[in-house]
Amino acid sequence: MSLLILTCNNPFKKAPIVSINGQPVLLYTDNEANLLEALELKQIEVFSECRNGFCGSCKTKINQGSVKYINDPIVELEANECLPCCCIPDSNLDLDLTVKKPANLQMSKSTLETCVD
């Protein structure tokens, strides 16, 4: 009697949850080109001049989680920073968008509640 054992690597990866200061705001899917675009689609304003040639302007602190870069960043980053314009979440991700200069986050409470629903 021969025994056939089938194994399967899980081809499905759980979609990462992106949070801002511990508050979930979106479930990241491959529909968006990058993290910045996904945040903007949820009406979360991230300070960014990337499209105007100021690379590094969207630099954001990562509280928890990790990202994967689509393109290598051309600015220097700390271990706990990312450039949302050229990365995607690699795991659940918690971002700190409460930087004083520039104000990285301008979102009303009602917008935040809408994003989570």
Q: Which H or E run includes 26?
A: strand 23-27
Q: What's the domain range around 49? A: 17-109
The per-residue pLDDT for range 40-62, each reduced to its tens digit, is 999 998 889 888 888 899 999 99
CATH number at residue 35: 3.10.20.30
Domains held by the chain: number: 1
- For residue 114, being part of any structural domain is answered with no
- For residue 100, being part of any structural domain is answered with yes
Q: 68-73 — which CB contacts under 8 Å span 24+ positions?
A: 70/33, 70/34
- For residue 101, being part of any structural domain is answered with yes
- For residue 40, being part of any structural domain is answered with yes
Model pLDDT, residue 30: 85
Please determine, for residue 104, whether its predicted confidence score (pLDDT) is greater than 60. no
Please determine, for residue 27, whether its predicted confidence score (pLDDT) is greater than 70. yes
- For residue 61, being part of any structural domain is answered with yes
Please determine, for residue 112, whether its predicted confidence score (pLDDT) is greater than 90. no
